[in-house]
Amino acid sequence: MKIFLFGAGYSARAFARAIAPTAEFIGGTTRDGTKLATLDKEGIMPFLFHGTHASQEIADALETITHLVISTSPAKTGDPVIALFGETIRRAMPKLQWIGYLSTVGVYGNHAGAWVDETTPCSPVSTRSVERVDAEHSWQALADARGVPLAILRLSGIYGPGRNAFVNLTNGTARRLNKTGQVFNRIHVDDIAGALQFLSMHNQGGIFNITDDEPAPPQDVVAYAAELMGVEPPEESDFESAQLTPMARSFYGENKRVSNKRIKSLGFTFRYPDYGTAFAAMWRDGSWR
């Protein structure tokens, strides 16, 4: 298996760690030149990709790739990887067997707390989710033209080492916003890595919600982290009167419970099926840092 990661960020690097023992090669892109050495140390051959031009170095690397993972964000003008490397993927990747695309459960939009699954029509609310739907369609068209399976992984709120309520409580940025009836699903980054590993090793295509089993009010999650730490949680504050950035407020405009039954039906098991299991483990072993 030879893997290339467009956007070797938080989730893609977790996948690289998981798949490294069985991978012949892992390459990955970053926009930040200061991260090239870090990727190299992690066993990922680093490439710079700003999304503005196609480098011959990347095109050459793609010639032998069997599995492609896309973790870059689309733009108003479309998906930058397709724009710059679409023809390379169509015509100059003879070994390609599978494509994985990391999307978001934001594509479903707002369902007033009701359950959604992969058959639920997309009705995105935010601009970034509209762009994700367009990107999903573009990648599906490219995969169909290329004749390879595409797995679209729709991710819920990502947490893990360095990104979690323990960190926010420690640095004083944790908040407990209360909006009546509001719930969110979450996903530990190791389960994103595990799902990518599972789907790529089976060359499995389709749309999959990669999310936990327990949609929960965000203020409860912070309270549980504080309980494990033995500290007082911040006071609850009312969402309507809270000072929030437009982006932060927009997240609360979508309220739904997301089902993960489809990937489970294939035999995949989540390591952290709920935030309680994950937080207890992270606090116990110190992996929250």
Alpha-carbon distance values, 29 to 12, 36, 48, 181 (Å): 10, 9, 5, 40
* 204 and 151 Cβ atoms separated by less than 8 Å: yes
* 166 and 111 Cβ atoms separated by less than 8 Å: no
DSSP state of 6: E
DSSP state of 153: E
**Mean local confidence (pLDDT), 97-115:** 98
Instruction: Tell me the per-residue pLDDT of 21-57, one tens digit each, with 9 for 90 and over.
Output: 999 999 999 999 999 999 999 999 999 999 999 999 9
Please give the Cα distance from 263 to 210 (Å, whole number): 8
Question: Which phi and psi (to 5°) does residue 204 adopt?
Answer: -95, 125
> Token match 């944790």: residue?
174
Average pLDDT over all residues of the chain: 97
**Mean local confidence (pLDDT), 111-138:** 97
pLDDT at 272: 98
pLDDT at 248: 85
Q: What's the pLDDT band for 247 if we cut at 50, 70, 90?
A: confident
* 228 and 280 Cβ atoms separated by less than 8 Å: yes
* 184 and 253 Cβ atoms separated by less than 8 Å: no
